Amino acid sequence: MLTGRKFAARFKNSSAREAYLTWSAGQMFIYNECVLEQRFFDSLSRLIAETERHKQPIRNECRVARPKPDQKYAHFVDKAQRPWLSQVPSAILGIGAFRFCQASKRAATGLAARPKLRAIKDADRHLLLTRAYFTIKPTSRAGWYELRFGSARIPGGTILFRAHREFVVPAMVSVTLTSKALIVSMSYEETEQERFPETEKEILERLRQYSEEELIACGNGIDRGVVRPVQTSNDPEPYAPTKDQLERIRRKERQRKHYQKRMARCEKGSRNRAKMRRKVARTFDYRKNVINDFAHQTSHTLVSDDKVQFFVLEDLRVKNMTKRPEPKYDDNAKALPNGARAKAGLNRAILSSGWGKTEEYLKYKAKKAGKLVMKVEPAYTSQRCPKCGRVERKNRPSQSEFRCVSCGFESANADYVAAGNILMAGVKLIREGRLEPKKVKATLRGKPAKATNVKLGPGWADVMPVEPERCLGKLRCRTRCEAGSPSLK
């Protein structure tokens, strides 16, 4: 099973930061050049096709076939024009072409959109390192590690990070620098036994043997909304960010408007403008971090319930729900009010509720725990009476109130009723045998690189890597190891 780890980090000194920025810029530069080359050949192919359609003559030297995506990048490296590229190892530059090649293959198979240009200046930085260009060693401080990157010819720097969980030294490491934090992330295949107790098909076969009462007892319906981001059928109390977090988000929004006004008055290219831009970016980061933390904690709490064996969600199409309204015009082509301002506020509230993140985290955590996550149609779940089954819009006179106009059933909250209806819809699908395991979309993931046998973590401060160490530069080499390779000191 593919396992990921992500740790907060910091640069050891300013030289390490400069080396990281140079290496990441070189890698992203090659990626962008590959994108521009692809766009050139695409436009040339369209031009040739258009010329042939109009039966115009084309010279033979202009008939250039569109090349397939490859990992060639040497023709982009002009060290006379860009001398800073000589400070980046060629293999690191080649990773930029490799990432473009992978992105192009994913786009060709429909797994992702076409590769786009990535900003380098004043943007998030990403650097992918292979095993030959980094080492991870524990420091004298318990739980802290240093990631040294560099080569024998081109020294790099040192990044310090604290490992709050155990990890295995991987084949590749990704280092990301945002406006707020430096992050070291890695993924590797578990060498131990797989953590999946049952497959989705096996879970379904087991659940189909249960009675309706047993399925209701071991299931949990989840209704997602704006006022109540996550409402379950097992608990009347909803899951939502705390009042302090919501107040801080509103405060950050006020700060962002203040910083944007100050940035508008700054001279372009000045240091003050760059400082204000970083402050504006940090205000966006807080909302994102709160939503991510809420999704993690909510999904963990739901999966940790031993009584629950399957979860039922609404099949919400968030992309369609957050589309802007179509413009309206009168007979004189004058724009009419279309409720765009109100719809923009609703879209912002939907996207801030973390529906997608909660679903994504719930799926992989439930899979590890041997539990099932299924989806049902969301239509009329909040208007259907759980007692008599009548669907009536008047059953929900307000956002929170539910009162059946037929049998008189009342509930404290309509979202709680909707969660129960979602659970019953999932139980019905299981009982009728209409729920089949979802076919996983094929990916381009090939055979993963083998991870090392070095296991590190909070309680592994005394463990040292067993792999031969490398040199990060002639000036740093003081002794030689037994194998003849320089040792890091």
Strand-pair category, 372-376 with 167-168: unpaired
> Is 0.85 surpassed by the pTM of this model?
no
Q: What's the average model confidence in pLDDT over 200-216? A: 89
Six token digits for residue 289 = 């971090």
Six token digits for residue 171 = 């084949």
Residue 486 in contact with residue 473, Cβ under 8 Å?
Answer: no
The maximal CA–CA distance of the chain, rounded, in angstroms, is 87
Q: CA-to-CA distance for 428 and 293, rounded, in angstroms?
A: 33
SS3 label, residue 118 = coil
Which residue type, as a one-letter code, is found at position 463?
A: V
Strand-pair category, 219-223 with 231-232: antiparallel
Q: What is the DSSP letter of 170?
A: -
Residue 218 in contact with residue 226, Cβ under 8 Å?
Answer: no
The CA-CA-CA angle for residues 314, 319, 321, to 5°, reads 70
Residue-range domain boundaries for the chain:
2-193+450-488, 200-236+294-432
Cβ contacts of residue 388 below 8 Å, gap of 6+? 404, 406, 407, 409
- Report which of residues 171 and 474 the model is more confident about: 171
Q: CA 250, 251, 252, 256 torsion: positive or negative? A: positive
Q: CA-to-CA distance for 229 and 358, rounded, in angstroms?
A: 10
The CA-CA-CA angle for residues 293, 424, 320, to 5°, reads 55
Residue 463 has pLDDT above 90, yes or no: no
Residue 217 binned pLDDT confidence (cut-offs 50, 70, 90) = very high
Bridge partners of 313?
Answer: 222, 375
Q: What's the average model confidence in pLDDT over 320-329? A: 87
CA 328 to each of CA 101, 300, 338, 341: distance values in angstroms, whole numbers, following the listed order: 43, 45, 6, 14
Residue 302: enclosing H or E segment and its boundaries? helix 271-303
Cβ density class 61-96: b for 16+ within 10 Å, e for less: eeeeeeeebeeebeebbeeeeeeebebbbeebbbbb
* Residues 67-101: tens digit of each pLDDT: 888 888 898 998 888 999 999 999 999 999 999 99
Q: CA-to-CA distance for 117 and 131, rounded, in angstroms?
A: 27
Residue 251 has pLDDT above 80, yes or no: yes
- What's the pLDDT at 92? 93
- What's the pLDDT at 317? 87
Residue 390 in contact with residue 353, Cβ under 8 Å?
Answer: no
Residue 310 has pLDDT above 90, yes or no: yes
* Residues 115-163: tens digit of each pLDDT: 999 988 878 899 999 999 999 999 998 889 999 999 888 989 999 999 9
Going by C-alpha positions, the residue among 374, 373, 392, 370 that lies closest to residue 382 is: 392
Bridge partners of 126?
Answer: 176
Residue 142 in contact with residue 463, Cβ under 8 Å?
Answer: no
Q: What is the mean pLDDT of the chain?
A: 84
Residue 397 in contact with residue 410, Cβ under 8 Å?
Answer: no
Number of Cβ within a 10 Å radius of residue 250: 11
* Residues 331-375: tens digit of each pLDDT: 888 888 888 888 888 888 888 888 889 999 999 899 888 899 999
SS3 label, residue 441 = coil
